[in-house]
Amino acid sequence: RQTLERDYHSLCEKQPIGHMLFRQFCETRPELSRCVKFLDAVAGYEVAPDEKRKECGQHLIEKYLKPNSEDHVPEVPLQLVDACCERLEQEPSKELFKESTKLIHDYLSVAPFADYLDSLYFNRFLQWKWLERQPVTKNTFRQYRVLGKGGFGEVCACQVRATGKMYACKKLEKK
């Protein structure tokens, strides 16, 4: 718990398990779920082919940025929405929603992130980090039968004790 950086960017954006668990936490609250869906839609917009980008951007604005829509994200001010609409009409660039996503990340990094740190989702994150830090030894795996032999050793079927996943493990015989 003490050795982790406790900031939003490091825990919820950089680390895949933290990213996934923060998203699951956000799914439990409708106002946060809308923000996450908006960020997903922006990611989809950024990778959309050039010919479909304008259409994708218009759909995104209609669904998340218009005040009368069901999934409206109130954290993005109307001036920014109007600016996005104008720029979309001129040229639908990949950076069109950059300011909007920054505002959403800024919003998520304050109160929602503090709530996340007190949640079971963060405790699960800490459990995963603890598991990651455990040294890998021969006792980490259950060894089963030999799958094959070769000039440098043999390959065995083995199972990770913690997760139950099966792997092939090569035992080298060094002489």
What does the pLDDT average to over 68-96?
Answer: 87
pLDDT in tens, 85-144: 888 888 888 888 899 999 999 999 999 999 999 999 999 999 998 888 889 888 889 999
Q: Which amino acid is present at 121? A: Y
pLDDT of 156 reads 93
* CATH class assigned to 138-172: alpha beta
Asked if residues 132 and 117 have their Cβ atoms less than 8 Å apart, the reply is no
Residue list, annotated binding site: 170
Q: What value does the mean pLDDT take over residues 159-172?
A: 90
Q: Provide the pLDDT confidence category of residue 172 given band limits of 50, 70 and 90.
A: confident
Q: Give the type of residue at 43.
A: A
Q: Per the annotation, where are the binding residues for ATP? A: 170
The CATH class given to the 8-132 domain equals: mainly alpha
Neighbours of 36 (CB within 10 A): 18
Give the whole-angstrom CA distance, residue 166 versus residue 129.
21
Q: Quote the mean pLDDT of the chain.
A: 89
What local confidence, expressed as pLDDT, does residue 174 receive? 67
**pLDDT digit string, tens, across residues 5-16:** 788 998 888 999
- All CATH 3.30.200.20 domain ranges of the chain, comma separated, are 138-172
Q: State yes or no: pLDDT of 175 exceeds 70.
A: no
pLDDT at 34 over 70: yes
